[in-house]
Structure 1
């Protein structure tokens, strides 16, 4: 079985011309040592077993408020708007996501490089890290639409050229996450299985997929099998809680039809030893604000508002 338009050897094939079997992931989720960073050994083991870990109280209420004020400011950022890094909901026109936020916000840049956060990424990935992608996800009350079930690595591999699932995402809640306002759902243990997907990647697929992803997602039969095998858990908790999850963890969220908004800062750390190559789907790379091709290691920032 070969992937449509694949041009280089691919250890994790996807975007196939016909269905293929799922197969066990051949690389670890935890590359570092249990005692090499801020995560406790139990937290590292939980991350390795489930593909995610939740830490409440990552930000204080005052720090959350600082970040929330920054979200409101960035929604009117002309620089982000001009380069297409602000994605809006199809029907309401409200902001859905804002990308490359660490590049235009000194506050978010400091947050990412605060040692107690940066060193968590280093601990899990076992190396120096850089930012593959940063964004703010907004899910306003009544009109926030969900994200269909998917593995982020499948897209980053196929469309950005990320070689291995040696990346992790951090999602910090800026609003209380309830079970009913579109909180992120995850399948614990699903990160250990790779799911090839069917379908050729259209040109500039990101222009549609960031609003509604249709290519690079499993079919309903596969999702059903995964759900019965692994179950579904949800990231809930007060504002300031943080979710760390593996790039291959199956996850998604439902629409928010409540009046309670949901927003989070979302940062993808990638190992400097896992820098991007040409996209494995054979397409042109996505824009820099979606798949950063500068793998310069992050340096820590001390004496920040988040110490």
Structure 2
């Protein structure tokens, strides 16, 4: 799947592009059911909030068939290859839960800031492409983006090891306020099956979810093969060390599993 020129221009200018209902509700429901099974498992790849509910599950594409297929889905892989003009590998795959009532904050940060500092990724030639597995609304902890902030480059950050269960290189209030005064603040919202692609340097966060509605999003962090990481400081299921280019599957690669779920 290729992005049209309008979408490419929006991505270049704003640092993100929103693609509503790119996947069907049936495809999203399949992946959500698999995610819930993963959250209920006792795997080291599943990180939990202090309340005990799941916060994120890493590397599901390596141990779950539905997510394996999603990790090579052309609707996700090809737009990133198109923009980077190069094949990509999976730097990170995670399913972020924002559980009803208990989903905690993700502080203001840049993902490439972490990839550069912790993994020694040479350049910001890596993007996130995220699939909503549930409806994302203003109430259930949506992503918050500061448009155009990717143009600022890598910003000074502090390593926050205390606020949440997951360590993060975070930005201070002065920096975020300055960027927001220039670019504003937006929250992509939409139905399950929608996709948002955003630059590795785009400043983003998400608030706590105190609503009674879950919010689950799958993130593929895709990196140009020539730009692979040089340091192996983090667990291999957090920052992958297999730099093999992804070969996209057929567009209907989830259909068989959707049919099995419907028949069950």
Tell me the TM-score normalized by structure 2: 0.91
How many angstroms apart in 2 are the aligned matches of 1:300 and 1:144? 33
The correspondence of residues 257-296 of structure 1 with structure 2, limited to 5 A, is: 257-278=210-231, 285-296=233-244
8 Å contact 2:74–2:249 — kept in the other structure? Answer: yes
Corresponding residue SS for 2:131: strand
What residue is the counterpart of 1:101 in the other structure?
60
Corresponding residue SS for 1:270: strand
How many angstroms apart in 1 are the aligned matches of 2:221 and 2:124? 12
Corresponding residue SS for 2:66: helix
8 Å contact 2:46–2:56 — kept in the other structure? Answer: yes
Q: CA deviation at 1:109?
A: 1.6
2:2 paired with 1:38: yes
Counterpart among 230, 248, 265 of residue 183 in structure 2:
230
How many angstroms apart in 2 are the aligned matches of 1:212 and 1:110? 27
What residue is the counterpart of 1:57 in the other structure?
21
Q: CA deviation at 1:211?
A: 2.2
| CA-based RMSD | 1.9
How many angstroms apart in 2 are the aligned matches of 1:293 and 1:193? 28
Instruction: Give structure 2 stretches of 5+ with no counterpart.
Output: 257-264
| Higher-Rg member (1/2) | 1
8 Å contact 1:128–1:298 — kept in the other structure? Answer: yes
What residue is the counterpart of 1:47 in the other structure?
11
Q: CA deviation at 1:219?
A: 1.4
How many angstroms apart in 2 are the aligned matches of 1:118 and 1:73? 25
How many angstroms apart in 2 are the aligned matches of 1:196 and 1:60? 37
Corresponding residue SS for 2:213: coil
How many angstroms apart in 1 are the aligned matches of 2:105 and 2:119? 23
How many angstroms apart in 1 are the aligned matches of 2:107 and 2:98? 14
- Aligned residue pairs total 255
Instruction: Give structure 1 stretches of 5+ with no counterpart.
Output: 1-36, 279-283
How many angstroms apart in 2 are the aligned matches of 1:198 and 1:97? 22
Change (3 A) 1:132 1:109: same
2:205 paired with 1:256: no
Counterpart among 138, 143, 148 of residue 179 in structure 1:
138
How many angstroms apart in 1 are the aligned matches of 2:29 and 2:174? 42
Q: CA deviation at 1:212?
A: 4.9
Change (3 A) 1:143 1:124: same
Q: CA deviation at 1:221?
A: 1.0
Counterpart among 29, 46, 49 of residue 89 in structure 1:
49
The correspondence of residues 187-226 of structure 1 with structure 2, limited to 5 A, is: 187-199=146-158, 211-213=165-167, 216-226=169-179
Tell me the TM-score normalized by structure 1: 0.79
8 Å contact 1:111–1:306 — kept in the other structure? Answer: no
What residue is the counterpart of 1:113 in the other structure?
72
